[in-house]
Amino acid sequence: MSITLPIALTVAGTDPTGGAGVIADIKSFQSRGVYGMAAVTSLTAQNTLGVQGAYNVPADFLDAQLKSIFTDEVPHAMKSGMIATEEMMRVIKKYVEEYQLPFVIDPVMISTSGDNLIDEGAIDYLRSELLPTALTVTPNIPEAEKLAGLTIENEEDVRKAAKIFIGDIGVQSVIIKGGHLKGDAVDYLFEKDKETTLSSARVDTEHTHGTGCTFSAVITAELARGKPLEAAFRTGKNYITKAIQEAPGLGGGNGPINHFAYEGE
Ligand SMILES: Nc1ncnc2c1ncn2[C@@H]1O[C@H](COP(=O)(O)OP(=O)(O)OP(=O)(O)O)[C@@H](O)[C@H]1O
Ligand SMILES: Cc1ncc(CO)c(N)n1
């Protein structure tokens, strides 16, 4: 007898310490009862202290990985994380357009430790060609500033940026994460005619390595389970808050979060 199991795919880079990137994504999928698949864009050498190196997979070989996946079993939802080059973005766009699955883009640019993870020249392509293929995009404040082309200091600026994402860039929806603003950790989901704001008390901690990866992976897992975007956003927020609160304190720098902490439905 065959078992029906939701399947989510991540297309992202690796962090060998398991706090961010595909390894964090797979942990997140697993903890939500979702079968995880991964196509790797870049291998990085990094830890809680910083990124020591990065090796980009040739775009042809990313294509080969995605072909292996999609010609055998099509996932129910997909996310992307670190995509360093335009060539790799072109490959990913081809599969999203062909298979029309819910696609969450975490537009990763700089790691928590401040290291660059994307070619400057790929940002235009990301903005104009890849973002419009997504169901939702999850920029943090510096990423939203770069993609929307304005400075974000308060909630009014967040709204202005969202208008640019939906009106000019042409995304269906955007989740702007306020983790980098002052005060409570407030996140905003903007859909065409609806706005949902979720707030949690800021945890006073250094251990936020991989929060963005995990948050977008949980949202993707919920979409794979057939949940609507707003419900997926709520679960993502509750999950990430618990995961930060119960961070295990690993490593000598910005440590990872706890993928076992959330116990909600
Ligand atoms: N100190 C904190 N306390 C509570 N929630 C936080 C804290 N820092 C971040 N968050 C939450 O974590 C999620 C990820 O936000 P953040 O802005 O840190 O993403 P990011 O910068 O993309 O992450 P990454 O560190 O992986 O690059 C959001 O839901 C945000 O509100
Ligand atoms: C591979 C990878 N993806 C994303 C991030 C952002 O946290 C990171 N540090 N490393």
Phi and psi, residue 210, nearest 5°: 85, 15
**In a domain? residue 214:** yes
Ligand 1 binding pocket includes 116 (Cβ within 6 Å): no
* Domain total in the chain: 1
Q: Write the CATH number for 29.
A: 3.40.1190.20
- Is 136 part of any domain? yes
Residue 156 lies in a domain: yes
Longest CA–CA separation in the chain, Å: 55
Does residue 2 form part of some domain? no
Closest ligand 1 atom number to CA of residue 138: 22
Question: Is position 263 within any domain?
Answer: no
Q: Which domain holds residue 188?
A: 7-245
Is residue 223 domain-resident?
Answer: yes
By C-alpha distance, which of 91, 16, 102 is closest to 54? 16
Any atom of ligand 1 within 6 Å of the Cβ of 140 = yes
Q: What is the ipTM of this complex?
A: 0.97
Binding site membership of 208 for ligand 1 (Cβ less than 6 Å): yes
| CA 162/CA 165 separation, integer angstroms | 5
Say if residues 88 and 51 touch (Cβ distance below 8 Å).
no
Mean pLDDT per 10-residue section of the chain, whose length is 265 residues: 84 98 98 98 96 96 98 98 98 98 96 85 96 98 96 96 97 94 94 95 95 98 98 98 97 97 93
pTM of the model: 0.97
